[in-house]
């Protein structure tokens, strides 16, 4: 009888559990802490547009999260989500400065879900990274709560096996969802991993504030922060920058489009940045200027853009193709490789300090 009651109680609990529509994934990972997030759909609203247009569902999403403390560096931790049989994940904490690591860079996963799915399949075949830098534009409209479950469904097997560090894209539209899902208190932030320091910028100046005056103030504040952040981390072996908008581009109609980013180049040179990763342009681009590698990987699913006007003197490689980038760091050596969705290598760079 007792067994039956326990069984019934379990069945009722399972039946009542809201659907898991995102994650679990792991953010804000350091050597000793990490936050595991999963997203559930508690209810669904049906919108009835006027003039007989089709009704459309909008899910109500709820974020579940827990922060783990007291972890050991460079250690794999497995976890499971309570009350959800079979939902498991794992991640590795950040290593000490002497230990090797590898990470993934990709972005602009919005719009073409079938292509996004192929990119993720190829990433998984290629090997699970210790962590991911996502260059932004994850969904077409960050406010649309129906799009996020699609993104998380496609990303599920990757996100359950790594740590996730996203940059804000213009299609996120500075939306609250981005900050809530990825447990960010600010749109720009930095973190340490092994022997490197990573600064993640909010390059989406246009959506940062409603007035020009406020946008100028925001950019001045972030630029000051970046300078302080880079200056304070000169002892790291490497410094990496990630942002959504590029500093250079081979897309003719977009050249001169991001003067706020291009204006950062002297600062990145002054503080010996090793490489900058960006997205926004849906292709692969690699530039080398005054010792800094600028790598654009916006080929995660959004419609491809031509690379019709490579900037002279600095262009290493530009290809209009879906892609992702892997970066392996071992001591003073960095190995950067870019792949298309068939697994074909499209770029291969070794940087030695
Ligand atoms: Fe974009």
Report how far ligand 1's centroid is from the alpha carbon of 164 (Å): 19
pLDDT (average), residues 192-207: 98
State what percent of residues in the chain have pLDDT above 70.
Answer: 95
pLDDT (average), residues 197-217: 97
Report how far ligand 1's centroid is from the alpha carbon of 249 (Å): 13
- Cα separation of 319 and 297, whole Å? 10
- Cα separation of 180 and 61, whole Å? 11
Helix (H) / strand (E) element for 163: namely strand 163-166
pLDDT in tens, 167-176: 999 999 999 9
Looking only at the bridges linking them, the beta strands covering 333-339 and 101-106 are unpaired
- Cα separation of 157 and 123, whole Å? 10
CB atoms within 10 A of CB 78: 8
- Cα separation of 83 and 95, whole Å? 31
Report how far ligand 1's centroid is from the alpha carbon of 236 (Å): 30
Is-above-0.85 flag for pTM? Answer: yes
Report how far ligand 1's centroid is from the alpha carbon of 347 (Å): 22
Helix (H) / strand (E) element for 120: namely helix 113-126
- Cα separation of 58 and 179, whole Å? 20
Report how far ligand 1's centroid is from the alpha carbon of 87 (Å): 32
Q: Is the model's pLDDT at 10 over the cut of 70?
A: no
Class of the domain covering 68-352: alpha beta
- Cα separation of 327 and 336, whole Å? 5
Angle at 169 between CA 168 and CA 173, to 5 degrees: 90
pLDDT (average), residues 35-39: 97
Report how far ligand 1's centroid is from the alpha carbon of 49 (Å): 29
Q: So what's the pLDDT on residue 98?
A: 92
pLDDT in tens, 305-319: 999 999 999 999 999
**DSSP letter for each residue of 12-59:** HHHHHSPEEEEEEEEES--SS-EEEEEEEEEEEEEE--STTPPPEEEE
Q: Is the model's pLDDT at 7 over the cut of 90?
A: no
Confidence of residue 8 (pLDDT cuts 50, 70, 90): low
Report how far ligand 1's centroid is from the alpha carbon of 4 (Å): 55
Grouping H, G, I as helix, E, B as strand and the rest as coil, residue 308 is coil
- Cα separation of 338 and 323, whole Å? 7
Report how far ligand 1's centroid is from the alpha carbon of 107 (Å): 9
Domain boundaries, the chain: 68-352
Report how far ligand 1's centroid is from the alpha carbon of 289 (Å): 23
Report how far ligand 1's centroid is from the alpha carbon of 18 (Å): 32
Report how far ligand 1's centroid is from the alpha carbon of 279 (Å): 7
Q: Are 284 and 245 in contact (CB under 8 A)?
A: no
pLDDT (average), residues 322-340: 98
Q: So what's the pLDDT on residue 82?
A: 77
Q: So what's the pLDDT on residue 2?
A: 58
Report how far ligand 1's centroid is from the alpha carbon of 268 (Å): 22
User: What does the mean pLDDT of the chain come to?
Assistant: 94
pLDDT (average), residues 190-197: 98
Report how far ligand 1's centroid is from the alpha carbon of 47 (Å): 28
Report how far ligand 1's centroid is from the alpha carbon of 108 (Å): 7
Q: Are 322 and 121 in contact (CB under 8 A)?
A: no
Report how far ligand 1's centroid is from the alpha carbon of 311 (Å): 20
- Of 8-12, 206-210, 233-237, 278-282, the poorest mean pLDDT is in 8-12
pLDDT in tens, 114-140: 999 999 999 999 999 999 999 999 999
Closest CA to 322 of 121, 167, 46: 121
Give me the residue label for tokens 């246009």. 206
Q: So what's the pLDDT on residue 61?
A: 96
Q: Is the model's pLDDT at 15 over the cut of 80?
A: no
Report how far ligand 1's centroid is from the alpha carbon of 135 (Å): 9
Percent helix, percent strand, percent coil in the chain, to nearest 5: 25, 35, 40
Q: Is the model's pLDDT at 21 over the cut of 80?
A: yes
């Amino acid at each position: 009888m007792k067994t039956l009651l326990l069984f019934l109680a379990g069945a009722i609990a399972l039946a009542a559990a809201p659907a898991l529509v995102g994650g679990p994934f792991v953010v804000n990972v350091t050597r000793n802490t990490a936050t595991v997030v999963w997203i559930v759909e508690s209810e669904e609203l049906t919108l009835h547009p006027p003039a007989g247009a089709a009704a459309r569902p909008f899910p109500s999403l709820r974020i579940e999260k827990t922060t783990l403390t007291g972890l050991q560096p460079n250690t794999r931790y497995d976890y499971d989500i309570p009350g959800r049989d079979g939902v498991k994940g794992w991640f590795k904490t950040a290593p000490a400065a002497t230990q090797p690591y590898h990470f993934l860079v990709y972005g602009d996963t919005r719009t073409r879900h079938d292509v996004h799915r192929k990119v993720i399949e190829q990433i998984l075949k290629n090997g699970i990274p210790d962590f991911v830098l996502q260059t932004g534009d994850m969904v077409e409209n960050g406010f649309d709560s129906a799009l996020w479950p699609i993104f998380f469904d496609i990303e599920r097997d990757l996100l359950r096996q790594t740590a996730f560090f996203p940059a804000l894209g213009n299609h996120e539209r500075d939306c609250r969802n981005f900050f809530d899902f990825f447990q960010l208190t600010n749109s720009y932030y930095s973190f340490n991993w092994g022997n490197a320091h990573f600064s993640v910028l909010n390059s989406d100046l246009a959506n940062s504030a409603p007035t020009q005056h406020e946008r100028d103030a925001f950019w001045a504040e972030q630029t000051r922060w970046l300078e302080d952040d880079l200056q304070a981390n000169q002892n790291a072996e490497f410094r990496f920058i990630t942002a959504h908008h590029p500093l250079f581009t081979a897309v003719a109609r977009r050249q001169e489009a991001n003067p706020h980013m291009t204006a950062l180049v002297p600062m990145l040179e002054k503080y010996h940045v090793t490489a900058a990763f960006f997205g926004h342009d849906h292709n692969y681009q690699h530039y080398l200027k005054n010792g800094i590698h600028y790598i654009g990987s916006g080929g995660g699913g959004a419609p491809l853009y031509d690379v019709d006007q490579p900037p002279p003197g600095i262009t290493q490689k530009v290809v209009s193709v879906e892609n992702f980038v892997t970066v392996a760091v071992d001591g003073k050596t960095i190995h950067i490789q870019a792949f298309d969705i068939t697994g074909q290598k499209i770029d291969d760079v070794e940087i030695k300090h």
